[in-house]
Structure 1
Amino acid sequence: MAELSDIDKIRKKRRRKVLLGRILLLVALTLLGVGLYAIKDEVSTIGFTDYIQERIAGMGAGDGYPMEFAGEQVRQTARVGEHLAVLTDSNLYLYNSSGKEIRNVQHKYSNPVMRASGRRVLIYDRGGKHLRVENMLRTVAQKELDYPIYAGAISSRGEVAVATGAQRRLGEMTVYDHMLADPAKYVWKSAENYITDLEFDLDGKGIAVAVVNAREGDLISGVRRFRFDSEEEAGRQEFVGELIHSLNAARGGLTVVTDRQTAVLGASGEVLERYDYGYEALASFDHSENGDTALLFGDARENKNSAVTLLGPDGKKLWETQISSHADRLSLGKTRVCLMVDGQLQSYDYAGNALDPQPVPGEVLAATVIGRDAYLVTPDAIEKLALE
């Protein structure tokens, strides 16, 4: 009986190990499933192998910051995943958080513009006919179009939309897959308006188009909304006497920044929320990955007072603050609002609390906040400052 009892104990111990192993496997598979669901758009577009290779490419240690950077005209900076993208008049550079150069791509565009989504970067030649899509590993696709490019956008799934001139039309919007392959996925032609901006819906299944024209001496800007499963317009809104600066899709709706107001539109183009600037002059603005919008007011020609306003994804004002000096280089991160004031980096948290200013050596040409770090491009270097 004693031998049978020992065997029973061994069997029970083995069963417990097997059960524990199955539980751990189930937990691992569940976590993997959650992780894959979170990145499903990227994985479905590029494949799991390329996704892993891109993650590996972004790893590794560089020489740190500040990093020498001089001799090129900086056009834009942007966040690409957790990395920094710097677009110059000749190249696109991608750097990780330790200063390692991930990519260095020569584009040869006369008037380059960059749009980023996830780990993809769309570069197009505004006024020219060329565009390309880059990732952490390689050039994904390139294309030459028949007409000059006005605007472009890239979705979370890598699809590309481009607005161009057109024969016997004022403008044409074309949506391609992530490889810029023909035939196009969707086309809209406008005989009445010029197209000035594009923004994919958050789900990637529709798009918003900013248009402009003149009517009886008045400037008329508008937004047209489309879903890719229908040729019919899904909604519209007009802004009489205003110029649209930006479209930004957020969970609260579509944020439209004009020179007179910031409005949030619903799926049919209806105005859900509106923030009017009054007599304030909009100097610059920025959007966060959360869909928040920061607005900087002040006259760029005068070293006078400035003001900052932060709006949530629903367009409601979160806070505002006055600055008794000239401010510029506004940049909005996930948890921080940053701008340059009197040669120092001034940052605020999302509750509107001012953090201690930090000195910056040299003139700041461009700024981008990634996480709790601010990346500042000066004529000689790229600086990285912690925003604690």
Structure 2
Amino acid sequence: MDDKNELKKLSGRKSPAEKKKSRRRTIALVIVGIIAAALIVIIFNRQAVFSPLRDIFLPVGKAGFPVTLPGSAAYDMGKLGGNFYLLTDTYLYTYTGGGAEIKSVQHGFNRPASSSTDRRVLVYDKNGKDLKVYSKSEEIFAKTMDDAIVFSKMGGGDRSAVVTTSTRYSNYLYIFGGDGKQLFRWASPDEKIMGVCFSDNGRFLYVSVVGEENGELNCAVLCFDTTKEQGEIWRASTGSAVSYSLEYADDGIYTVTERGAYLFDKNTGETKAKNDFSKQVTGICSSKVMRVVLFHDSASNGVTAVVYNENLEPSASLSLGEAGSFDVENRTLYVLRENALFAYDSELIERRNYQLDNDYSDVMIMDGGAFLLGYNTVQRVNL
């Protein structure tokens, strides 16, 4: 028997029992390796992994409308992925879509302003140096910039764009990831940054700028790849017209300027559509399938709404008189006039109106409801 075992050892052959034991050992090592790799991923991404789980089991207040608000000099209301938030001069409040308070935090800023996506809300101190990024239930990270913040914008991939002043350049533009790490920086040498927007995944950044050449304004939209240390990929001119808005849309980069609207190709910057304006722009609102621009109506001293199609050609127009706040969802334009809310289709035909229980100053459409901001209250009307 010993001779046979010695022969097996010399020949390198293993018995069936030894082979089975070896396979078990290999499988165990593979499982341990997978678990270790998963733990490493979780540790380095613990904020992204555990924050949503905490939100699921987060205790919230009693739901119901109207929501009573604390006194504040001003309010900023925004969407937060089926929830909503209110920014006051001292606090940030988050609520469920049913009106239950989730969290309230004191931001500590002198001139608070905000920007949000479905997952995050960015609060910054305008003309100050500080900013904070929150989920609906907690602070994710905070930053103190070297220079004063001009404006900030949340975007795809939980990325934050921060535009600051500079003593050496016209502006600095910083991009931070969802964990607060700096991913990109661009120094604009001689052009002021007016607006920014991200691609859906946050990789590409689009920037509207205004400069001067031979005494004339020179305005443009630029595209950057934030994963590469290089200059702009493309630049598209809007002439001497300053951009009021910049939007990443399914069909291109959509910008409304003081003198017209442009649609640029995302990859090349080529002009796909353009329309010139003859009236003063007073408001801009859009959805994925409907673009509306509001103009000053000198005849009524109010506003005129114009709907533009995919080629930026006007397809409908309506004088709205005096109107307070606007929002668009799908193919419906909602217009708030103090104690009444009106719904217009894409042809600007009135389809419905809602008589409200009070006067309201702002409206936000979300999840089949109109969220109305009043004096120290938020009301919801089912649509």
State the TM-score bracket (shorter-chain normalisation).
Answer: 0.7 to 0.9
Q: Secondary structure at the match of 1:185?
A: strand
Cα gap change, 1:324/1:286 in structure 2, threshold over 3 Å: closer, same or farther?
A: closer
When the two structures are superposed, what TM-score results if normalisation uses the length of structure 2? 0.80
1:54 is paired with a residue whose SS is helix
Question: Matches of 2:274 and 2:46 in 1, distance apart?
Answer: 36
Specify the code of the residue in structure 2 equivalent to 1:329: S
- Provide the C-alpha distance between the structure 2 equivalents of 1:113 and 1:271, rounded to a whole number of angstroms: 33
Partner of 2:283: 284
1:75 Cα offset (Å): 4.1
- Specify whether residues 217 and 107 from structure 1 end up closer, same or farther in structure 2 by C-alpha distance, changes over 3 A only: same
Indicate the residue corresponding to 2:71 in structure 1. 71
For the Cα contact (< 8 Å) 1:151–1:195, is it kept in 2?
A: no
Letter in 2 for 1:224: L
**Alpha carbons of structure 1 residues 65 and 367: separation in structure 2 relative to 1, 3 Å:** same
Counterpart check, 1:198 vs 2:199: no
| Deviation of 1:319 (Å) | 4.1
CA RMSD of aligned residues (A): 2.5
Provide the secondary structure at the position in 2 that maps to 1:157: helix
Following the alignment from structure 1 to structure 2, what is the Cα–Cα distance between the partners of residues 161 and 310?
30
Task: Assess if the C-alpha contact under 8 Å between 2:289 and 2:330 holds in 1.
Answer: no
Which of 60-69 and 154-163 deviates more? 60-69
Q: Per-residue displacement from partner, 1:116-174 (whole Å, max 9, x unpaired)?
A: 11210111122111111000221000010100112222222112121112231111111
Identity %: 20
1:304 aligns with 2:298: no
Structure 2 CA distance, aligned partners of 1:214 and 1:191? Answer: 12
Point out where structure 1 has 5 or more consecutive residues left out of the alignment.
1-43
Partners of 1:129 and 1:144 within 8 A in 2: yes
Tell me the CA shift for residue 293 of structure 1.
3.1
Letter in 2 for 1:257: V
Question: Once the two structures are superposed, what CA deviation does each residue of 1:271-323 show, in whole Å capped at 9, x if it has no partner?
Answer: 11123222x221111233x3743222225x985353223346x4545842313
Mapping of residues 142-153 of structure 1, within 5 Å: 142-153=142-153
1:325/1:63 CA distance change after superposition, 3 Å: same
> What is the rounded CA distance, in whole Å, between the counterparts of 1:70 and 1:315 in structure 2?
46
Larger relative contact order (C-alpha < 8 A, sep ≥ 6)? 1
3-state SS of 1:108 partner: coil
Say which SS state the counterpart of residue 294 (structure 2) adopts.
strand
- Output aligned runs, 1:338-349, within 5 Å: 338-341=334-337, 343-349=339-345
Which residue of 1 is the match for residue 293 of structure 2? 295
| 3-state secondary structure, aligned to 2:178 | coil
Residue in 2 that maps onto 1:328: 324
Q: Does the C-alpha gap of structure 1 residues 197 and 157 become closer, same or farther in structure 2, counting only changes over 3 Å?
A: same
The one-letter code of the counterpart of 1:238 is: S
Provide the residue aligned with 1:3 in structure 2. Answer: none
* Aligned equivalents of 1:261, 1:45: Cα separation in 2: 46
5+ residue gaps, structure 2 = 1-44
**How many pairs align?**
337
Q: Map of 1:237-316 to 2, 5 A cutoff?
A: 237-266=236-265, 267-278=267-278, 280-288=279-287, 290=288, 292-299=290-297, 304-311=301-308, 314=310, 316=312
Cα 1:364–1:203, aligned 2, differ >3 Å: closer, same or farther? Answer: same
Contact 1:304 1:324 in 2 (8 A): no
Distance 2:286 2:149 in 1: 24
* Structure 2 partner of 1:167: 167
Match of 1:187 in 2: 185
Instruction: State how 1:11-30 maps to structure 2 within 5 Å.
Output: none
